Amino acid sequence: MGISDEQKVGFMGSCKRKLISVVGRIKKLGRDDPRRIIHSLKVGLALTFVSLLYYWRPLYDGFGIASIWAVLTVVVVFEFTVGATLSKGLNRGLGTLLAGALGVGAQHFASLFGQTGEPIVLGIFVFLLAAASTFSRFFPRIKARYDYGVLIFILTFSLVSVSGYRVEKILELAHQRLSTILIGGATCVFISLFICPVWAGETLHNTIASNIEKLANYLEGFGGEYFQYEDNEESIIVEDHSKLHNKLSSLQAYKSVLTSQSSEESLANLASWEPKHGKFSFGHPWKQYLKIGSLTRQCAYQIESLNGYVIPADIQVAIQFRRRIEESCKAISTESGKALRILASSIKAMTNPSSSSKTHIENAKAAIDDLKHTLKSGYLESSDLLGIIPDATVCCILIDIVKSVEKISEATD
């Protein structure tokens, strides 16, 4: 009423813009990893499938109201990767079985104490078991692999022992519930295994390889960025900082490696639940990936310090010295980058790293020797120690990086 047409158009426009931005974000999320869309459809499929238990009369007559447990199981068990789904499914199954048996036992034992004693004894049981199981979840090893199972254990034990107090046909109830949980779990496992499976192991494998590649990218680009000055100038051309930053941002992918530990560990844990698939057998040495991952991270820390010297410090740089070390430093960084790239692609292809990666490491080492020789025989034109400090640091870090690269190479053998 009081709203003018202009305001209306403005409001519609802003709504439209918002909608477009949301749609754009959704599209991006799907494009970044199309497996997400497929996963969503798979969950929908699994849920619709277990709903059949309700819609189809003969099935419903068999399971009755317990069918909701199939729906519940699908919702909580279906995870993105096969490993996570298997781990949750097995945890749920084992936890339910164990706790169900214990619960029936506890209920039976408590019934010996008569009408008034029974709820008290049951209450004590529930209290003790819940407290003890909750505490066990703080153990790192249980937390990592069986957290969900313990949760289900507490849940089922409480449900069975407590509801056994009211429900007469407890065994029939347990049987119904267990079979519907099995149906739900089996549906999840089947769909996640056979329809476009997402393997945690494969994801870990690719993550490790692409992390190494990110470091390789940085090292191959480093020399060109660091030793950048016009030849006819005595001092280094300090480029516009923001411009330099833009140029470097394509190299900054390595930063994600710094914080990759927790995701690698959880992937390795999930991968250990997965059966043989593709090139990976059950019992594939996933721990080795963690070792390579942690060595890669170590190398990323070194690159992080190296990266601090690409933007010139406020210390005046001694140009002669930098020119002297340029060739060796460039060689060290490029050769170690090449070695890493070969290692990454040999990990990806699961072949033994060809000897060429070792050749590159040897080249890098030879360049280190050159560098050391230059430094030993050299003298300082201006005795300006301060000016050479950043360059000296870069040399030192590069030498350390070659050591790290060698360690990664040994670990991938």
Q: Which of residues 164-223 bind its own copies (CB under 8 A)?
A: 165-166
Nearer to its own copies, 10 or 44 (CB): 44
Nearer to its own copies, 125 or 280 (CB): 125
Nearer to its own copies, 7 or 163 (CB): 163
Among 14, 134, 206, 281, binds its own copies (CB under 8 A): 134
262 binds its own copies (CB under 8 A): yes
Residues forming beta bridges with residue 277, ordered by sequence position: 280
First to last CA, the chain: 76
Nearer to its own copies, 278 or 378 (CB): 378
Phi, psi for 280 (deg, rounded to 5): -105, 125
Task: Give residues with Cβ within 8 angstroms of 135, minimum separation 6.
Answer: none
Among 13, 44, 278, 285, binds its own copies (CB under 8 A): 44
Q: How far is 229 from 241, CA to CA, in rounded Å?
A: 14
Nearer to its own copies, 316 or 354 (CB): 316
130 binds its own copies (CB under 8 A): yes
Q: Whole-number minimum distance, CB 173 to its own copies, in Å? A: 10
The count of residues interacting with its own copies (CB under 8 A) is 77
258 binds its own copies (CB under 8 A): yes
126 binds its own copies (CB under 8 A): yes
305 binds its own copies (CB under 8 A): yes
Q: Whole-number minimum distance, CB 270 to its own copies, in Å? A: 16
364 binds its own copies (CB under 8 A): no
Among 256, 302, 320, 363, binds its own copies (CB under 8 A): 302
139 binds its own copies (CB under 8 A): yes
Nearer to its own copies, 160 or 339 (CB): 160
Nearer to its own copies, 15 or 396 (CB): 396
135 binds its own copies (CB under 8 A): yes
68 binds its own copies (CB under 8 A): yes
Q: Whole-number minimum distance, CB 260 to its own copies, in Å? A: 10
Two tokens, residue 3: 């709203």
